[in-house]
Structure 1
Amino acid sequence: MRKENVSKLLVVLLVVPLFLVGCGQSKEKITIVGSSALQPLIEQAGNDYHLAHLDSNIVVQGGGSGTGLSQVQAGAVQVGTSDVFAETQKGIDEKKLQDYPVAIVGIVPIANKGVGVKNLSKKQLAAIFTGKITNWRQVGGKNLPIIVINRSRGSGTRTTFEDLILNGKDAVNSQEQDSNGTVKKIVNSTPGTISYISFPYANDENIQKISIDHVQPINKNIPTNKWSLWSYEHMYTKGKPNKATAKFINYVLSKKVQRDLVPKIGYLSIHEMKVSRDSENKVTKIGN
Structure 2
Amino acid sequence: MLKKLPFMLMTLTLVFALAACGSKNDSSQGSTGGDSSSNAGNSDTAALSGQILAVGSTALQPLVQQVGEKFMTDDKYKDISVQVQGGGSGTGLTQVSGGQADIGNSDVFAEEKLDAGPAGELIDHQVAVVAMTAVANPKAGVDNLTKDQLLSIFTGKVTNWKDVGGADQKIVIVNRPSSSGTRATFEKFALGQKTEDLPGSIQEDSSGTVKKLVAETPGAIGYLALSYLDDSVKALKYDGVEASVENVEQGKYPVWAYEHMYTKGEPKEHVKAFLDYILSDEVQQADVTELGYIPVSGMQVKRDAEGNITK
- TM-score exceeds 0.5: yes
Kindly, what percent of the aligned residue pairs are identical? 44
| Alignment-mate amino acid for residue 245 of structure 1 | V
Partner deviation per Cα, 1:84-124 (whole Å, 9 max, x = no partner): 00011144622100000000011011001111111111111
Alignment of 1:141-152 (within 5 A): 141-152=166-177
SS in 1 for 2:306: coil
Q: Distance in 2 between matches of 1:171 and 1:215?
A: 26
- Quote the residue 2:243 is aligned against: 217
SS of the residue corresponding to residue 166 of structure 2 reads: coil
| Whole-Å separation in 2 of the counterparts to 1:166 and 1:252 | 31
Give the secondary structure class of the aligned counterpart of 1:138. Answer: helix
Match of 2:86 among 62, 71, 74: 62
What is residue 27 of structure 1 aligned with on the other side? 49
User: In structure 2, do the counterparts of structure 1 residues 32 and 208 end up closer, same or farther at CA, with 3 Å as the change threshold?
Assistant: same
Matched, 1:48 2:79: no
RMSD of Structure 2 on Structure 1 (CA): 1.2
Calculate the TM-score normalised by the size of structure 1.
0.87
Contact 1:31–1:79 (CA under 8 A) maintained in structure 2: yes
- The answer to whether 1:176 aligns with 2:203 is yes
**Contact 1:33–1:68, Cα closer than 8 Å, also in 2:** yes
User: Unaligned 5+ residue runs, structure 2?
Assistant: 1-47
Does 1:235 find its partner at 2:257? no
Distance 2:191 2:287 in 1: 32
Please say if 1:164 is aligned against 2:209: no
Distance in 2 (CA, whole Å) between partners of 1:208 and 1:102 is 27
Q: Does 1:196 align with 2:217?
A: no
Per the alignment, in what secondary structure is the counterpart of residue 249 of structure 2?
Answer: coil
SS of alignment partner, residue 93 of structure 2 = helix
TM-score (norm 2): 0.81
Asked if 1:89 is matched to 2:113, the reply is: yes
Indicate the SS of the match to 2:170.
Answer: coil
- Taking the aligned partners of 2:81 and 2:194, their CA distance within structure 1 comes to 43
For residue 168 of structure 1, what is the amino acid of its counterpart? Q
Structure 1 stretches of 4+ with a deviation exceeding 3 A read: none
Distance in structure 1 (CA, Å) of the matches to 2:160 and 2:52:
47
1:5 is aligned to none
**Structure 1 stretch displaced more, 47-56 or 99-108:** 47-56
Paired residue for 1:75? 99
| Deviations 1:212-262, CA, capped at 9 Å, x for gaps | 111112211101221111110000000011110011101111111111111
Q: What's the CA shift for 1:165?
A: 2.3
Residue in 2 that maps onto 1:4: none
> Secondary structure of the residue that 2:100 maps to in structure 1?
coil
Q: C-alpha distance in 2, partners of 1:57/1:63?
A: 20
What amino acid is the match of 2:252? Answer: K
What amino acid maps onto 1:117 in structure 2? V
Q: Say whether residues 1:126 and 2:148 are aligned partners.
A: no
Measured in 2, the distance between the counterparts of 1:256 and 1:94 equals 31
Q: Report the Cα offset of residue 27 of structure 1.
A: 3.5
SS of structure 1 residue aligned to 2:156: coil
2:124 corresponds in structure 1 to 99
The CA distance in 1 between the partners of 2:49 and 2:287, in whole Å, is 25
Query: Secondary structure at the residue paired with 1:214?
Result: coil
Given that residues 130 and 169 in structure 1 are in contact (C-alpha distance below 8 angstroms), is that contact kept between their aligned partners in structure 2? Answer: no
8 Å Cα contact 1:108/1:217 also seen in 2? yes
Alignment of 1:226 with 2:252, yes or no, is yes
> Are the equivalent residues in 1 in contact too, given 2:49–2:270 (CA < 8 A)?
no
Contact 1:104 1:232 in 2 (8 A): yes
- Number of aligned residue pairs: 259
2:304 is equivalent to residue 278 of structure 1: yes
User: Shift in Å at residue 164 of structure 1?
Assistant: 1.3
Q: Is the 8 A contact 1:131 1:171 kept in 2?
A: no
Q: By how many angstroms is 1:172 displaced?
A: 4.6
2:144 aligned with 1:115, yes or no?
no
- CA shift, 1:169, in A, is 4.4
